[in-house]
Amino acid sequence: MKRWKKILFPFIVFVLMVGLAACNFGSSGNSDLEKVRVAEVTRSVFYAPLYVAVEQGFFEDEGLDVQVTTVWGGDKTMTALISGGADIALVGSETSIYVSAQGSTDPIINFAQLTQTDGTFLVSREKIEDFSWDMLIDSDFLGQRKGGMPQMVGEFVLKQHDINPHTDLNLIQNIDFANIANAYISGTGDFVQLFEPQASMFEKEGRGYIVASFGTESGHVPYTTFMTKDSYLTKNDETVEKFTRAIYKAQQWVYENSSADTAKLIKNYFTDTDLDIIESSIERYKNQESFATNPILDEDEWENLQNIMNEAGELPKRVDYDELVNTEFAKKVME
């Protein structure tokens, strides 16, 4: 929990505010539209529906000028939201639970779900024809950051396959998210847990091979959701409704159109990634229904999230569904 106390430190807020000048997308500059600042936890094909909502003009249709800023990390994303550097955050729902555990007087409310499964894949350094999870025993496994959803889901899945991640293998989780891929390239780990499009890029380059999906293994969970402070939600309910409607339109669009069309539409968000890799990544996520088909975060998903957190030893306390989840806007836009 100590890492979440960082959001209270002014100097971190200052550093974040300086960093917000980079990695911005989506602002139209139209002064007639209402500006909404969104802080996303990372830039990922996993968030394709958000970028579709921007590029297809779904936000503008609702009278919104949405600016998307990548802030790289759950703690920094929460810092941006709580300090007023962002109006809405796109991050794992576990962060709202961490903030709640600190006794926040302005709780963080999850109001629209974007992804409904884990988005990582297990990548092997060697090609494996008939993979089985027990092949990880005694291996060096390069996992994700401790306390984040990718790592918690990773440990949850290993335990589902009767593998103790702390005794049956060498679990490496002291490398920053942004450096995991480079660490693997440099020779760290026999297996690594990666998001798309990095996993497919490694496969195309012969650096690794996708052997399993953590998303299909772990089931539905509110992996990445749009959230905001309760005070913002109360004062800007119409804005939140418009925002949620645009996201729902984008979710439908992604499933109604080809992965190739989606890839072309969001290519500018991934200038260093080949178009075919973006397309295959989107197709992989669609096939396992990682993109939520609608913005409703249901109670079963919420409980699954807390079970995963509890299994990883990272759940500070159980939080009732109605305390941090508001489905009013999601249900309304689907009528």
How many Å apart are CA 110 and CA 87, to the nearest integer?
13
**Region 278-298 average pLDDT:** 97
pLDDT of 22: 44
How many Cα atoms sit within 13 Å of 103 on the Cβ side?
0
Return the CATH superfamily for domain 2-117+221-333: Periplasmic binding protein-like II (3.40.190.10)
Element (H or E) spanning 225, and its range? strand 224-229
Of 144, 50, 134, nearest in space to 88 by CA: 50
Residue 326: what pLDDT? 98
Percentage of the chain lying above the pLDDT 90 cut: 83
Residues 41, 224: contact at Cβ < 8 Å?
yes
Q: Which residues contact 265 (CB under 8 A, 6 or more apart)?
A: 51, 52, 55, 56
Task: Measure CA 191 to chain center.
Answer: 21
Residues 6+ apart with CB under 8 A from 33: 60, 63, 64, 65
pLDDT confidence of residue 11: 36
How much is the pLDDT for 23?
58
- Give the C-alpha separation, 318 to 49, whole Å: 30
DSSP class of residue 32 equals T
Query: pLDDT tens across 300-313, in order?
Result: 999 999 999 999 99
Q: pLDDT per residue over 62-71, tens digit each?
A: 999 999 999 9
> 34 has which bridge partners?
64
Query: What would the pLDDT profile of 78-112 be if each residue is shown by its tens digit?
Result: 999 999 999 999 999 999 999 999 998 999 999 99
Q: What is the pTM of this model?
A: 0.89
3-state secondary structure at position 89: strand
Q: What is the DSSP string of 251-307?
A: HHHHHHS-HHHHHHHHGGG-TTS-HHHHHHHHHHHHHTT-B-SSS---HHHHHHHHH
239: enclosing H helix or E strand:
helix 237-256
For the chain, the domains span 2-117+221-333, 120-218
Read off the pLDDT of residues 8-57 as tens digits, 9 standing for 90 and up. Answer: 443 344 344 434 444 577 766 677 999 999 999 999 999 999 999 999 99
Token pair for residue 36?
């909404």
Sheet containing 24-25: give its strands across: 24-25, 64-70, 34-40, 88-91, 224-229, 108-115
pLDDT at 155 over 60: yes
3-class SS at 235? helix
Which of 173-177, 221-225, 238-242 has the lowest average pLDDT? Answer: 173-177
In the CATH scheme, what architecture does the domain 120-218 have?
A: 3-Layer(aba) Sandwich (3.40)
Examine domains 2-117+221-333 and 120-218 and report if their fold is the same: yes
pLDDT tens-place string over residues 194-209: 999 999 999 999 999 9
In angstroms, the CA 52 to CA 271 distance is: 16
Q: What is the mean pLDDT of the chain?
A: 91
What mean pLDDT is predicted for residues 142-147? Answer: 87
What is the pLDDT, as a whole number, of residue 15?
Answer: 42
Residue-wise pLDDT for 237-256, tens only, equals 999 999 999 999 999 999 99
Task: Give the residue with greater pLDDT, 261 vs 177.
Answer: 261
